[in-house]
Amino acid sequence: MSPNLYYFILLSVSIITAFIFIFLYKNRLRSLNNPAFIAPLILEAIDEAIIITNSIEKKFQTQLQEKTKKLADINNLIENMKQYKKIEEDNIEQKIQEITFDIREEHTRLYTAVKNLNFGFIIIDKEKNIIITNNAADDLFSIPPVRTNINFQNLQIHTRDNVDLIKNTDSTIKNGNQSFLENIHINNKYVNIFISPIITLSGTTGAVILTEDRTEKQITQKSKEDFYTIASHELRTPLTAIRDYIAIIKQIYLEDIKNEELKNLINDIDTLSARLINIVNDFLDTPKLEQGKINIKKEPCDLIEIIKACINETSSIATPKNLSIKLNDPLKSVIVLGDKEKIRQILINLISNGIKYTEQGGITINVEKTLGSRYKISIQDTGKGIPKENIKFLFNKFQRTDPTRHMTSTGLGLYISRLLVEKMNGTITLENSEEGKGSTFSFTLPIYEQMNK
């Protein structure tokens, strides 16, 4: 309350009090009509008025002080709040600046990473307008570096395969499904293309198109395959001729040859040419198997008969090393579903490996029925074993774990065996191996009878 207002109220109260007093005593004053009598009454009234005024003044002063104090407190509070608000505002501003900076940094990092990705990267909106591309995509689709409003549909895309990239993109945007186009010949390049929808709360808002350039890989792969095929064919023809000549020499002339050294030489040529033909065959088989170009029969085969034939065949390399090959407790008849020639190839490879990497003891073959309508054939040797660190990739292409790199080793035998076993719906594994003690390889094949019941 302002002081002026306070004095105004005080004065008004005093005047009102004086009037009340005059009103109350006006009859007595009139009737007495005597100044001597009136004077003390007036004084008394004034005294009373002063007392009333003082008490009112006191009361107002106390209230005023209380109000002023409260106002001061409120004022302090408001000041504190103002300061707090300012600090908060400053903090928020700083935080927003920091976050904005971080976002910008992250954006630049992402943008640079995407720009220089080996993969082509394009983001389009629902109408197929290009929003973002990177260098690889610009290069593949000949997108000009400076551009405005380019639509994916208007790019010059020439595909040799009957693949409609635009149709696939439309389908992704419309149905929200992903598309994968493999090895497409596009604008003179071989690419894999992956199209994925961008889905937000409001539905599909566009698509991401990723492209992987496979041109170099394709060319390398093709030259590799061509090289294998040409080299192997060129090697196989003369090698087969050598083997035929050696077979004739052995059949007709070996008994007549008296010179032991010459006899040994002829036998060595026979063994070595056989190994070389096997290696050449592995090189020829691998790409064909990988591409599914080898026909694998699925017919009933007598497993025990095949194993016995393989033992016979490999004894010629086991005997010179004094190694035994035996079939453990042969079951009477084990008929599996597969390809006789391929089963033989797998067995010969596993038994030959056993012989190759064993110096003492021998090879034991075991056949048992497994729980899942299969027979498991195990080939156990007492050889050098395989170091643990080499086990993981054993069945991959060109894996040779032997540090001495055995002369006949190509690292293809187990890989081919795996492909063949898998094509006959079986599995192949290294059951166990301990360095210096030996290894056990096993593979499974489906049982014929149960499959056909």
Instruction: Confirm if 347 and 421 have CB atoms less than 8 A apart.
Output: no
Between 115 and 397, whose beta carbon lies closer to ligand ADP?
A: 397
Binder among 49, 122, 414, 424 for ligand ADP (CB under 6 A): 414
Give the CB-nearest residue to ligand ADP.
413
**Residue 225 vs 402, nearer CB to ligand ADP:** 402
Which residues ranging from 433 to 452 are in contact with ligand ADP (CB under 6 A)? 439
Residue whose token pair is 């170099």:
216
CB-nearer residue toward ligand ADP: 30 or 392: 392
Give me the least distance between CB of 279 and ligand ADP, in Å please.
8
Nearer to ligand ADP, 67 or 406 (CB): 406
Residue 361 binds to ligand ADP (criterion: CB under 6 A): no
Q: CB of 440 within 8 A of CB of 361?
A: no
Distance CA 225, CA 219 (A): 10
Of 58-66, 76-84, 238-246, 399-407, the window that binds ligand ADP (rule: CB under 6 A) is: 399-407
Amino acid identity for residue 131 in this structure: I
Q: Which stretch binds ligand ADP (CB under 6 A): 82-90, 141-149, 259-267, 413-421?
A: 413-421
- Which residue from 411, 423, 429, 432 is in contact with ligand ADP, where contact means CB under 6 A? 411
Backbone angles phi, psi at 272, to 5 degrees: -65, -40
- 330 contributes a contact to ligand ADP by CB under 6 A: no
Specify the stretch interacting with ligand ADP by CB under 6 A; choose among 82-90, 116-124, 175-183, 350-358.
350-358
Q: Which of 14, 205, 401, 425 binds ligand ADP (CB under 6 A)?
A: 401
- Kindly tell me which of 133 and 345 has the beta carbon lying closer to ligand ADP: 345
What does the alpha-carbon distance between residue 260 and residue 122 come to, in Å, rounded to a whole number? 75
- Kindly state the smallest distance separating residue 361's Cβ from ligand ADP, in Å: 12
Options 120, 197, 206, 354; binder of ligand ADP; rule CB under 6 A: 354
Nearer to ligand ADP, 21 or 228 (CB): 228
315 makes contact with ligand ADP (CB under 6 A): no
Q: Which is nearer to ligand ADP, 159 or 399 (CB)?
A: 399
Residues in the chain: 453
Asked if residue 418 binds ligand ADP (CB under 6 A), the reply is no
Our finding on whether 399 is near ligand ADP (CB under 6 A) is yes
CB of 221 to ligand ADP, least distance (A): 21
Q: Does 384 participate in binding ligand ADP (rule CB under 6 A)? A: yes
196 or 410: CB nearest ligand ADP: 410
Instruction: Examine residue 394 and tell whether it contacts ligand ADP (CB under 6 A).
Output: yes
Residue 341 CB, shortest distance to ligand ADP, in Å, is 18
191 or 394: whose CB is closer to ligand ADP?
Answer: 394
Query: Residue from 344, 402, 423, 451 that binds ligand ADP (CB under 6 A)?
Result: 402
Amino acid making up residue 150: I
What is the C-alpha separation between 51 and 40, in angstroms, rounded?
16
Taking the alpha carbons at both ends of the chain, their separation in whole angstroms is 109
**Candidate segments 14-22, 57-65, 407-415, 442-450, binder of ligand ADP by CB under 6 A:** 407-415
Q: Which of 386, 419, 421, 424 binds ligand ADP (CB under 6 A)?
A: 386
Binding window for ligand ADP (CB under 6 A); candidates: 180-188, 266-274, 364-372, 397-405: 397-405
Nearest alpha carbon to residue 225 among 294, 293, 288, 292: 288
Looking at beta carbons only, is 338 or 383 nearer to ligand ADP? 383
Binding flag, residue 362, ligand ADP (CB under 6 A):
no
Binding site for ligand ADP (CB under 6 A): 349, 353-354, 357, 381, 383-384, 386, 394, 399-402, 409-415, 439
